[in-house]
Amino acid sequence: MATSKSAKRKIPSQKANRAIAPRHSEKPSVASAPPQGKHFLSDKVGHFTESVIREMTRQAMLHGAVNLAQGFPDFSAPAEIKQAAQRAVAGDVNQYAITWGAKNLRNAIARQMGIWQGIAVDPEKEITVCCGSTEAMISTLLAVCNAGDEVVIFEPFYENYGPDSVLSGAKPRFVKLRPPKEEDGDWTFDEKELRRAFDKHTKAIILNTPNNPTGKVFTRKELELIRDLCVEFDVLAITDEIYEHILYDGTEHISMVSLEGMRERTVTINGMSKTYSVTGWRVGWAVAPEKITNAIRKVHDFLTVGAPAPLQEAGAAALSLPEEYYANLATGYRVRRDHLMPALNASGFKCFRPRGAYYVMTDISAFGFDDDVSFARYLVQEIGVATVPGSSFYRDPRDGARQVRFAFCKKPETLDEASRRLRQLRPKNPK
């Protein structure tokens, strides 16, 4: 987790920052001298660091490494949606969209939720389009949390949820996902531990399925168990479903909102980044009951005013792609997963097979390094492959000290080059 503890562990060599430090020959003028004694920074920002994932991308660029760290495709986005974006810009859709989202996109989101989840959504009252699902998540938490509220989060967790909780004043309560014993097994959680995390202070649970970083896809039985706790303790489910179409081995994505009793207590977050390979467009959304949507819309309006207007029009076109687009997307990622995993196994990693999303968590015990951070640093600097150290997905860095995560949303030649470089590794304790 990107907490202040992990500041020390951050993969350093911050050359880029030197550009903004004052040159020694320059004396600050009186006007620009820092005032003494005043504490200018928010206490909140002291509780987390910059993202380790995004830092690893900068490290990859610095060292000329193959970037299997951050989850963005290095291949093209679909031609149809790029053309739709070009048409929107040329057609002068260049001013603010309606703050909570362009009508065409909201209609398309509502239509697709009906088709995919069997849920009827009112596009006028229940959808807020944001600058990526990242903004949808923080806007939601800011809209629903008060100081002292608790938010249940499964760990390992997508890095943003920790700082999101801090910024919204909520206290995260972590519940462990335990890795499978065998490569083919599933990550599991202990029912009793989950129940212990719920009490009268619990405002929400954040659920990410398909899951980053584990690749876990929560089953109906697991979701029903979580649903029962949400109902018993009067808790909201905030679900991050941005990998909903990236599924393997016959797994099924089930949206929490589709479970009986959850329609009025679920915020469903999704976005274009992963499904349409456009992580740079920054278009995502939150679907929630009207009252919660009104609160999310207020926060969203004052945070960003709105998501990029022409890209929202292209979003409406993307959501109209035929069903086969989604089947091909999942097949393409399955091929990539099955391309990278044997190479990782052959180089000495123990892989946990993902059932969804486009990451593979690995156990690095065989390499005999002190921890994940020193290993990730060695990989990026000496071997030329960037990964994400496992500790960035945990509250206690020791829990991730034997893990690193690889992203496989890359071209075959990128995966081949990474595999070639990883062959230089010499495991000390082969499996």
Ligand X SMILES: Cc1ncc(COP(=O)(O)O)c(C=O)c1O
Residue 158 engages ligand X in binding (rule: CB under 6 A): yes
Dig out the tokens for 2 from the structure. 């990107």
Q: Which of 132, 156, 289, 354 binds ligand X (CB under 6 A)?
A: 132
Residue 212 engages ligand X in binding (rule: CB under 6 A): yes
List all residues 6 or more positions away from 430 whose beta carbon is below 8 Å from its beta carbon: 348, 366
Q: Which of 2, 66, 71, 296 binds ligand X (CB under 6 A)?
A: 71
Among 12-20, 36-44, 126-134, 258-266, the segment contacting ligand X (CB under 6 A): 126-134
For residue 149, which of 174, 133, 123, 173 has the smallest C-alpha distance? 173
CA distance 175 to 5: 20
Name the residue nearer to ligand X (CB basis): 11 or 138: 138
Grouping H, G, I as helix, E, B as strand and the rest as coil, residue 208 is strand
Name the residue nearer to ligand X (CB basis): 137 or 197: 137
Q: What are phi and psi of 319, to 5 degrees?
A: -70, -5
Stretch 270-299: interaction string toward ligand X, x if CB under 6 A: -x-x-----x----x---------------
User: Which residue's C-beta sits nearest to ligand X?
Assistant: 132
Residue 133 engages ligand X in binding (rule: CB under 6 A): yes
CA distance 43 to 375: 32
Question: Tokens 């949303």 sit at which residue?
Answer: 409
Dig out the tokens for 292 from the structure. 């919660």
Name the residue nearer to ligand X (CB basis): 59 or 160: 160
Ranges of beta strands (E only) in 26-81 are 66-67
404, β-bridge pairs: 362, 389
Residue 242 engages ligand X in binding (rule: CB under 6 A): yes
Stretch 36-65: interaction string toward ligand X, x if CB under 6 A: ------------------------------
# of chain residues touching ligand X (CB under 6 A): 13
Kindly state the smallest distance separating residue 155's Cβ from ligand X, in Å: 13
Q: Parallel, antiparallel, or unpaired for β 284-287 and 127-130?
A: antiparallel
CA distance 358 to 332: 11
Name the residue nearer to ligand X (CB basis): 347 or 414: 414
Kindly state the smallest distance separating residue 339's Cβ from ligand X, in Å: 20
Residue 134 engages ligand X in binding (rule: CB under 6 A): yes
Kindly state the smallest distance separating residue 335's Cβ from ligand X, in Å: 20
Among 111-119, 129-137, 326-334, 366-374, the segment contacting ligand X (CB under 6 A): 129-137
Query: Sheet harboring 388-389: ordered strands across?
Result: 350-352, 359-363, 403-407, 388-389
Dig out the tokens for 161 from the structure. 């949820």
Q: Where along the sequence are the contacts to ligand X (CB under 6 A)?
A: 71, 132-134, 158, 208, 212, 240, 242, 271, 273, 279, 284
